[in-house]
Amino acid sequence: MPRDPRFDPLFAPLQIGPVTAPNRFYQVPHCTGMGYTMPQTLAAMRAVKAEGGWGTVCTEYCSIHPTSDDHPSPFASLWDQGDVANLAVLVEGVHRHGSLCGVELWHGGLRSANLLSRQTPIGPNSLPADKAPLQARRMDLADIRDYRRAHRAAALRAKEAGADLVYVYASHTYLLSQFLDPRINRSIPGYSGTIENRSRIIRELIDETKAAVGDALAVAIRIEVDAEATPRADPDGERRAVFELLKDGPDLFDVTITDYSQEMGVSRFIKEASLEPMIAHVRGIVQKPVVSVGRFTSPETMLSQVKRGVVDLIGAARPSIADPFLPKKIAEGRSDDIRECIGCNICYASDVQGVPLRCTQNPTMGEEWRRDWHPDRMPPAQKRERVLVVGAGPAGLEAALTLAQRGHPVTLAEARRDLGGRVTLESKLPGLSEWARVRDYRQHQLSKFDSVEIFRESHLSAADVRELAPRHVLLATGSHWRPDATGHHFPGGNPELDRAITLTPDDLLVGKRPATKSDPVIVFDDDHYLMAAVLAEQLAQEGYAVTYVTTAGVVGFWSRFTMEQARSQARLIEVGVRIVVSHAVEAVRGGQATLSCVFSGKRHDLPCGAFVPVTSREPNEALWHDLQSDPAASSAAGIASIQRIGDCKAPGLIAHAVYDGHRTARRIDGDQAVAEDLPPEDLLGEPPFRRDRVVIPTLP
Ligand SMILES: Cc1cc2nc3c(=O)[nH]c(=O)nc-3n(C[C@H](O)[C@H](O)[C@H](O)COP(=O)(O)O)c2cc1C
Ligand code: SF4
């Protein structure tokens, strides 16, 4: 379909200093969990973004010097010619599709503990680094001179690699933010004190970078509109003065805010375009192009931002991860096909944990090189044969869609009336409505295939499966929360629980509630992600007196990886939930719960009228066992393979289920359905993906 001309402003080229962005889709710097250690993985991923129409594709934070080493977090680097060579390959991949490539030159300052390089951290003050009990060396004028030289050298390396744009990175609490912060920067002559002094280093870097590479490369700045010391302060405060001082310097202003949990907020707390009220004034101060972010997935919102002059370019990290082809889909009049980011931050969690990006919506993210997966092109099936998918949750829907895209005829059977499985239920919990996009995208795509039959309210038995006589069967029957608190703390379950007053998360999700509003509810979290916190929030909002008990030290311990832990805990405090950390629920009897401290074992009792264990899930594998029990009957029915996928195999995140459904569907071909998890014939073979690592030719 042709593009809707209303969206033409999003496709207008834009001059940025000496270069021209081909359109307004700007992939802002974002980490990948790949960094300099996985250059092939990284280059292939960025090239796919460019292919998908992102007119500008930036690197992640790219260290300029070994005094800025973020190990074990995987950062990019431009320390030497090896880095130049790898960046050049990445740039070439981006250029191949006509896009610009930007490099975010980064120095972490006192935050970088330099665990690998073992260089002494440097900063405007001697304060503790992030990842070690080690303080930075206070910078003097000689250090500032050396830092400026290192920045210039890195800019020249970016130019040598063919990049089109380099950043002076003055946000996110790294070195240049530390210079701007009067609480940190207190004693360097000429660089401390007034805002003119504290921003001096930034102005010097902009001038020097322009002098070094500005003939060919645009020089951008990433900077916050508020200050770390005074977050959310009036835009007419000190930061306005900084923008006034800088306004004629950089070729592009990439503006954001100091609250990272809003800038990169989860959809549970932060909705699309949330930065607008805070950043909208910048374009009135600076006469240069402005880009900002806001988890933009709606073409209408993007258009509105550009037309109203809020920004010139639509900045995106997560929307470009969830759908690398978002711009192309708008360009081709296929906005309905956009795979919208759900704002779960599983991408960020993988990066923080040091592994290549994983995305709930886009199972191909991070697999572009190592598995040759493309987000929009599936390998056609060599032999098209009917596949039965039992269960239309995230794994089943993704498998059905991938199979259909590959040309297989698909029968999808779902026990409930609604498709979506767990996402349909979980998206009704407070703040999680956008999670339904996992279902909606796939359901919409499936509706385009005549080769897909969907049967709702169809609870299939083993006999039903055989009667349907598909060639392959994928079981995606999900899982259910365990009522006996089996999990990390009680691997064998807890027999001391009063089952009569136990409500599992599944009970609550289908609307069951404690007998009376006056029943004090205990939610026991040994799962450590967000389910327990969200249920506690919901019950408290409905008027129940809720105590949240966790074996961990904070609410939703694992959700620190998704950047929502602090907001999650604050929300429970706001809605009046009592929080008890580092305790397990040992027994629930006679209206009392006995709690024990996970460190000392010391016990105390709390009143308990209803008990909600959120600990672990039991795979729904009855159908699998029934089918396994009579392989001859399945063969006689013409079934070549039966596999479990998603939660019914191994309960996990929605991202795990989607990935498993996708991966399995890619491996079904003709009579073959190659299982990947320890297939016996592969035990002595190669891993099922390429590995991005150096192979040493000889002993050095
Ligand atoms: C996985 C991930 C890694 C990020 N890494 C960086 C980074 O290296 N440098 C940076 O300036 N911002 C980084 N960010 C922040 C993004 O640039 C962006 O400001 C933020 O995600 C909000 O934009 P979005 O709503 O389009 O995702 C990262 C964001 C994500 C999701
Ligand atoms: S993991 Fe979640 S937040 Fe990140 S891009 Fe994918 S859908 Fe969006």
For ligand 2, whether the C-beta of 267 sits within 6 Å is: no
Query: Residues of CATH 3.20.20.70 domain(s) within the chain?
Result: 5-352
118 band by pLDDT with thresholds 50, 70 and 90: very high
Probe ligand 1: pick from 25, 27, 28, max atoms within 8 Å of CB?
28
Q: Label the pairing between strands 668-669 and 672-673.
A: antiparallel
Q: Rounded to the nearest whole angstrom, what is the distance from the C-alpha of residue 357 to the centroid of ligand 2?
A: 9
Q: What's the fold here for domain 5-352?
A: TIM Barrel (3.20.20)
> Omega before 319 cis (within 30°)?
no
Q: Among all ligands shown, which has an atom nearest to the Cα of 438?
A: 2
Q: Please give the backbone phi and psi of residue 673, each rounded to the nearest 5 degrees, phi first.
A: -140, 95
Per-residue pLDDT averaged across 302-329, rounded?
Answer: 98
Q: Rounded to the nearest whole angstrom, what is the distance from the C-alpha of residue 660 to the centroid of ligand 2?
A: 17
Per-residue pLDDT averaged across 147-159, rounded?
Answer: 98
682 band by pLDDT with thresholds 50, 70 and 90: low
For ligand 2, whether the C-beta of 361 sits within 6 Å is: yes
- The pLDDT of residue 678 is 60
Mark out the alpha helices in 562-610 (DSSP H runs).
565-574
Query: Residues of CATH 3.50.50.60 domain(s) within the chain?
Result: 484-616
CATH number of 387-478+620-682: 3.40.50.720
Interior/surface letters 177-188, b for 16+ CB within 10 angstroms, e for the rest: bbbbbbebbeeb
Q: Rounded to the nearest whole angstrom, what is the distance from the C-alpha of residue 193 to the centroid of ligand 2?
A: 41
Rg for the chain, CA atoms, rounded: 27
Q: Region of 511 please: left (phi>0), alpha (psi -120 to 50) or beta.
A: left
For ligand 1, whether the C-beta of 358 sits within 6 Å is: no
How far, rounded to the nearest angstrom, does the alpha carbon of residue 133 sit from its chain's CA centroid?
Answer: 29
- The pLDDT of residue 674 is 66
Which amino acid is located at 430 in the chain?
P
587 band by pLDDT with thresholds 50, 70 and 90: very high
Q: Rounded to the nearest whole angstrom, what is the distance from the C-alpha of residue 123 to the centroid of ligand 2?
A: 33
Q: What is the pLDDT of residues 615-655, one digit of tens each?
A: 999 999 999 999 999 999 999 999 999 999 999 999 999 99
216 band by pLDDT with thresholds 50, 70 and 90: very high
- As to burial, measured by CB atoms within 10 angstroms (0-12 exposed, 13-18 middle, 19+ buried), residue 198 is buried
For ligand 1, whether the C-beta of 256 sits within 6 Å is: yes
- The pLDDT of residue 429 is 98
Per-residue pLDDT averaged across 322-345, rounded?
Answer: 98
CA 162/CA 288 separation, integer angstroms:
23
pLDDT surpassing 90 at residue 92: yes
Which amino acid is located at 30 in the chain?
H
* Percentage, residues of the chain above pLDDT 70: 97
CA 652/CA 528 separation, integer angstroms:
12
Q: Among all ligands shown, which has an atom nearest to the Cα of 362?
A: 2
Which amino acid is located at 665 in the chain?
A
Q: What is the pLDDT of residues 242-276, one digit of tens each?
A: 999 999 999 999 999 999 999 999 999 999 999 99
Q: Which atom of ligand 2 is nearest to the CA of 342?
A: 7
pLDDT surpassing 90 at residue 107: yes
Residues identified as active-site: 174
- The pLDDT of residue 419 is 98
Q: Please tell me the residue having the least CA distance from ligand 2 atom 7.
A: 341
Q: Please tell me the residue having the least CA distance from ligand 1 atom 4.
A: 30
Tell me which long-range contacts 458-462 makes (C-beta under 8 A, separation of at least 24).
458/413, 458/414, 458/415, 459/415, 460/390, 460/413, 460/415, 460/623, 461/623, 461/626, 462/623, 462/626, 462/627, 462/629, 462/630, 462/633
Give 341's strand partners: none
Handedness of CA 240, 245, 249, 250 (dihedral sign): negative
Q: Rounded to the nearest whole angstrom, what is the distance from the C-alpha of residue 454 to the centroid of ligand 1?
A: 38
Q: Among all ligands shown, which has an atom nearest to the Cα of 254?
A: 1
Which tokens in the block code for residue 72? 């074990």
Q: Rounded to the nearest whole angstrom, what is the distance from the C-alpha of residue 355 to the centroid of ligand 2?
A: 15
For ligand 1, whether the C-beta of 587 sits within 6 Å is: no
CA 84/CA 158 separation, integer angstroms:
7
For ligand 2, whether the C-beta of 223 sits within 6 Å is: no
Q: Please tell me the residue having the least CA distance from ligand 2 atom 6.
A: 359
- The pLDDT of residue 677 is 65
Of 687 and 641, which is predicted with more confidence? Answer: 641
- The pLDDT of residue 233 is 73
pLDDT surpassing 80 at residue 451: yes
- The pLDDT of residue 1 is 81
For residues 443 and 420, the answer to whether their CB atoms sit within 8 Å is yes
683 band by pLDDT with thresholds 50, 70 and 90: low
Q: Which atom of ligand 2 is nearest to the CA of 345?
A: 3
DSSP 27-78: E-----S-GGG-HHHHHHHHHHHHHTT-SEEEEEEEESSTTS--TTS--EE-
Q: Rounded to the nearest whole angstrom, what is the distance from the C-alpha of residue 239 to the centroid of ligand 2?
A: 31
387 band by pLDDT with thresholds 50, 70 and 90: very high
**Tokens 């709702």, located at residue:** 456
pLDDT surpassing 60 at residue 440: yes
Q: Which atom of ligand 1 is nearest to the CA of 172?
A: 11
Cα 121 to Cα 62, 117, 129, 221, 569, distances in angstroms: 17, 10, 8, 23, 32
498: three-class secondary structure by DSSP: coil
For ligand 2, whether the C-beta of 345 sits within 6 Å is: yes
For ligand 1, whether the C-beta of 272 sits within 6 Å is: no
CA 104/CA 684 separation, integer angstroms:
42
Q: Rounded to the nearest whole angstrom, what is the distance from the C-alpha of residue 361 to the centroid of ligand 2?
A: 6
Q: What is the pLDDT of residues 160-183, one digit of tens each?
A: 999 999 999 999 999 999 999 999
Query: Residues of CATH 3.40.50.720 domain(s) within the chain?
Result: 387-478+620-682
Q: What is the pLDDT of residues 350-359, one digit of tens each?
A: 999 999 999 9
Probe ligand 2: pick from 361, 426, 442, 530, max atoms within 8 Å of CB?
361
Q: What's the fold here for domain 484-616?
A: FAD/NAD(P)-binding domain (3.50.50)
pLDDT surpassing 70 at residue 673: no
The CA angle 344-32-571, to the nearest 5 degrees, is: 25
Q: Label the pairing between strands 603-607 and 592-597.
A: antiparallel
Per-residue pLDDT averaged across 553-575, rounded?
Answer: 98
Average pLDDT, the chain: 96
Q: Which atom of ligand 1 is nearest to the CA of 348?
A: 1
The CA angle 73-76-77, to the nearest 5 degrees, is: 120
Q: Among all ligands shown, which has an atom nearest to the Cα of 75?
A: 1
pLDDT surpassing 70 at residue 145: yes
For ligand 2, whether the C-beta of 360 sits within 6 Å is: yes
Which tokens in the block code for residue 605? 């009792």
| Range name among 5-14, 424-433, 666-675 with the lowest pLDDT average | 666-675
